[in-house]
A and B are shown apart, each in its own frame.
Chain A
């Protein structure tokens, strides 16, 4: 596939998922009684929505890294330092979480 089309396709996905992100907010339980959908009204729990949002963000980040930063076409080792950074940052957050919420 022509790279330009590939980049455009990635762009389309990025914009599309952003659109999902802003719309999903309407499903917060507190937002007045959920959203009228085709099959009735739905409201998702806070945790589910947050997970979906972060999941989408993660997916977008991955797409940008793989295609725009073309990690997909680089030696695998090149992403090591960033990945180690991510692991360390998540260790920080997990241990902080334990501190704050597990006694």
Chain B
């Protein structure tokens, strides 16, 4: 693929794989979506400012409320944080880049295209039922809007993006820390990102599964969410099982960076940093068992609601420790109230209010009144805007000099803080008092008495929104004209401050190391004395744009584009029946285009020579012996476990919730299942034989084993297809068979797609084998394929009894 058609600057930004540039891309894009979602919010506040107002129609209001929520949560908060993470984490742990730079670029482009998709959904009538997408309202019969489909495509794309990043960051942080950068020596920001990634790794697959089930229901008329045995409660469970960890996912990066900003500006070490880190881990673990607090009024029974009350209230303890530690840090300190410090301290203060009111909501008794009211809105905005956004803005000011080599205007930044802080409280505090007012309503009657508090909130909204103009003007002008900042303007201690601002493309001339006594060593020179600064080798503007680091790859963006086309094709379409729409027809030509393009570009991607040097002397506990790619695959398999776990969980849910279920053997032929099991087991044997052959250097053995694996894969899919056709032609796939058919088709179908993907991989391996690769010591690709293939086999080992024998 010729990259030369673009001018160098454009090419740089389109094809970069450098973590710093990708970081900047994330930040700029996230800020763009921040403005977009913010404008939606300001419009909604205008609509709500007085009773019986009609600036927005109800439909439009509902669309705004939904897209605002989706954008802020998925397209602003996490990408904003991961812009920092991309840029800063490798610097702070002393790595030169992420483990898989191209994958990282690809994550970004998936993110960008997913954002395009969600904005595009407005063309087709954007989703209008709240970011929580409650079922059964999402069933096609209630929401026959293609906009919701496109929204689903956007969510799938961003989930893929996030999963790729999670794998990438986990491998990087476990395998590429500078010598002596033990886990316990990492600053809190990387720790927070690490914990965040863990939650992402395990929470997002659940969301992917949920959206997938929803999509299949809408496209093919299956029944997971429109049946009584699945329906609303099934969605509530799979959605919130993801949703609660997600709210911590958007918070933790901000907490982490605040915990690094406060010590820098108060000139004292973080109080009890190991307890802060421990608390983060504890909260992350508990976050997976509290989701039921979003279901307090669904009628799940007292045992459950009490259980969730206790877990939810318990999760406030670790947050308690974090907050107290940050405040204690200030004792005997020397607090410099620069803008970054102001935002960090302000964020903590607002977070405290959000956290305390969270405890109200955790009480099932109070929640019967508060659920679905503005009290909830106030609660999570105190946390997500007050804690997260304010914290991330602290990060923006803190690292701005590092990114640009220039200082911003401190006075304007301080005014920005003061106006934001006051505006914020005028905006959101009245909402606590509106604890009778339902959220997500377009307007309200005058006699409700909600008018004045709403006017006040809207007034605050304008102040808060207006204040952000100061931020944008400040950073825009300063990155061009600000005075030079030098490498370490805040006198910070973390490694990024040892580099010139902005850092050169390769970051470190010599990888630093940390000695046993905690001192840094930069190549030959000993640890730098305080304030001495690192020799500033580069002029301002010499950084990412003009560096000559050869890290360009055209493939990430095109792969993402192919996926974008593919998922658009899957979701844009026509209702199958214009009169009584129950399902819709995907747009096959686009799907085909996307698929063909996808195969071509993935081939290009994997053929491209893009090797990343693995430093051997780095800290990599506890994965010292494990190569990066293998660790990446196992990490990915960890996410897959949740993905299939949730699919099986959904089956388990409807199965135990259904009064009757067809008897064993009556619906699915056991002999078919038996045959497929044997075929897949055998294919695992051939896959391992391929590895054996590659290791001993037997080219023929390798070819035969791969062909056999491929053939067995085909046989599996063939039997599966005949079974599907048979069941379909016998009317099993009908309302009468409802959930048994639904769960079977979706679960085995998803598994089938995995088998199909594996077969594409064998084909690719086969081509390369014929070219003479993989023999003697070059067998890694065969091994990695095997890990995936055996996993797919293991899934079937469970599906077989679950569907055919139980």
Contact = CB atoms under 8 A, between A and B. Distances in A.
Given A61-B798, A78-B631, A102 B303 contact: yes
B422 interface: no
A93 B791 CA distance: 21
Interface in B611-635: 622-626, 630-631, 634-635
Interface string A58-83: 00110011011100001101110110
Interface stretch (B329-337, B580-588, B673-681, B725-733): B673-681
A41 interface: no
Given A84-B202, A85-B639, A15 B678 contact: yes
B801 A21 contact: yes
A60 B801 CA distance: 12
**Interface residue SS majority, chain A:** helix
Contacts of B631: 78
Contacts of B625: 74-75
B790 A68 contact: yes
A74 B626 contact: yes
A96 B625 CA distance: 39
Interface in A13-68: 14-15, 18, 21-22, 24-25, 28, 30, 50, 53-54, 56-57, 60-61, 64-65, 67-68
Given A78-B634, A82-B638, A85-B641, A22 B805 contact: yes
B638 A98 contact: no
Contacts of A86: 641, 645
Contacts, number: 161
B88 interface: no
B685 A7 contact: yes
B657 interface: yes
B642 A88 contact: yes
**Interface residue SS majority, chain B:** helix
Contacts of A18: 674, 677-678, 681, 800
Nearest to A67: B688
Interface stretch (B93-101, B363-371, B646-654): B646-654
B688 A68 contact: yes
The interface centre, meaning the residue of A22, A89, A100, A102 with most chain B CB atoms within 10 A of its CB, is A89
A22 B637 contact: no
B806 interface: yes
Nearest to A7: B688
Interface in B665-695: 665, 670, 673-674, 677-678, 681-682, 684-685, 687-689, 692
A97 B417 CA distance: 48
A52 to B, nearest CB: 9
B653 A100 contact: yes
Given A56-B801, A61-B797, A84-B638, A4 B681 contact: no
Given A78-B634, A84-B638, A64 B793 contact: yes
A96 to B, nearest CB: 6
A77 B622 CA distance: 6
A74 B630 CA distance: 11
A69 B302 CA distance: 44
Contacts of B302: 103
B579 interface: no
Nearest to B626: A78
B674 A22 contact: yes
Given A7-B688, A50-B806, A65 B790 contact: yes
A99 B797 contact: no
Given A61-B794, A82-B641, A102-B304, A75 B624 contact: yes
B600 interface: no
A86 to B, nearest CB: 6
Contacts of B639: 85
B652 A93 contact: yes
B301 A103 contact: yes
Interface string B755-791: 0000000000000000000000000000000110011
B195 interface: no
Contacts of A68: 684-685, 687-688, 786, 790, 793
A18 to B, nearest CB: 5
Contacts of A75: 622-626
Given A102-B303, A103-B303, A91 B288 contact: yes
B663 interface: yes
B649 A92 contact: yes
A56 B802 CA distance: 12
A64 B678 contact: no
Contact of B292 (A21, A81, A99): A99
Nearest to B623: A77
Interface string B177-213: 0000000000000000000001001100010000000
A64 B790 contact: yes
A11 B787 CA distance: 16
A86 B646 CA distance: 11
B690 to A, nearest CB: 11
A53 B806 contact: yes
B292 A95 contact: yes
B456 interface: no
B333 to A, nearest CB: 38
Interface in B421-464: none
Contacts of B646: 89, 92
Contacts of B665: 25
Nearest to A94: B289
A92 B806 CA distance: 21
Contacts of B687: 68
Contacts of A25: 664-665, 670, 805
Contacts of A92: 206, 237, 241, 288, 645-646, 649
B307 interface: yes
15 contacts: A7-B685, A18-B678, A21-B801, A67-B688, A68-B685, A74-B626, A75-B623, A75-B624, A78-B634, A79-B634, A82-B634, A82-B637, A92-B645, A93-B652, A96-B653
**Top 7 A-B pairs ranked by shortest CB distance?**
A89-B645, A81-B638, A85-B641, A103-B301, A77-B622, A53-B801, A85-B638
